[in-house]
C-alpha cells in the first residue's frame, strides 16, 4: 500500500468522509390563499319581502343591508338592479351609482342603504310592481350591457331580491 501514490491512498478516507447521509433543505410549502364568497349577512326588510315604497308604504325608509366576506381585504362590488332578470331593453338597468366597499379588518362591512326613486333610478312608468336585485361580488362586475349581474369566470356572485311597489308618474 505504501507503493501507491498519495492521492490513491487518500481516496478511501475521502469516500468515507463524504458518504454520510445528507438531507437537503427543501422549499417550504404553504397553501395559497383561498378566495371565499361574500355573503348577505343581514337585511331589513328580509330578502324576498314585498315592499311598498309609496309615501305610506312599509318600506318608505328603504332597505338596509349588511354584507360580509371572510376575506377581509377583498373589495366588494355592489349593484342594485331594477326590473331584472330577465333583461328587458329600456326597462332593466343598474340603479344609482355602482358601489364598492373597500376591505379592512372586519368580516362584516358597514350597512348600506337603498331606496328606489322614480326620478333618480329611471324606474319604468309602464307598471307599478318591480323587481329589485342586489348583486354582490368580490371582484368588479363584467361589462355586459344585457347581463347586468355578470362577473368574470371564477369569481363569486351572491344575490338577494325583493318585489317592490312604486307608481312612477
Q: Where are the domains of the chain?
A: 39-144+154-165
Please, what's the largest Cα pairwise distance for the chain?
A: 115
**pLDDT tens digits for 117-131?**
888 888 999 988 999
pTM, 2 dp? 0.78
Mean pLDDT across 75-82: 96
- The sign of the CA dihedral 113, 123, 49, 99 is negative
Question: At the topology level of CATH, where does 39-144+154-165 sit?
Answer: Immunoglobulin-like (2.60.40)
Phi, psi (rounded to 5 degrees) for 113: -130, 150
Q: Is the pLDDT of residue 167 over 90?
A: no
Amino acid at each position: 500500500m505504501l507503493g501507491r501514490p498519495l492521492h490513491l491512498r487518500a481516496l478511501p478516507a475521502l469516500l468515507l468522509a463524504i458518504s454520510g447521509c445528507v438531507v437537503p433543505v427543501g422549499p417550504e410549502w404553504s397553501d395559497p390563499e383561498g378566495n371565499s364568497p361574500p355573503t348577505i349577512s343581514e337585511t331589513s326588510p328580509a330578502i324576498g319581502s314585498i315592499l311598498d315604497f309609496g309615501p305610506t308604504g312599509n318600506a318608505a325608509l328603504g332597505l338596509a343591508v349588511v354584507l360580509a366576506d371572510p376575506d377581509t381585504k377583498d373589495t366588494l362590488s355592489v349593484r342594485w338592479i331594477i326590473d331584472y332578470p330577465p333583461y328587458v331593453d329600456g326597462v332593466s338597468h343598474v340603479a344609482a351609482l355602482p358601489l364598492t366597499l373597500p376591505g379592512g379588518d372586519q368580516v362584516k362591512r358597514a350597512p348600506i342603504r337603498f331606496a328606489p326613486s322614480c326620478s333618480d333610478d329611471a324606474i319604468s312608468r309602464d307598471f307599478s310592481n318591480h323587481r329589485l336585485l342586489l348583486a354582490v361580488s368580490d371582484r368588479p362586475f363584467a361589462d355586459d350591457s344585457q347581463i347586468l349581474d355578470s362577473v368574470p369566470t371564477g369569481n363569486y356572485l351572491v344575490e338577494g331580491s325583493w318585489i317592490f311597489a312604486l307608481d312612477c308618474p
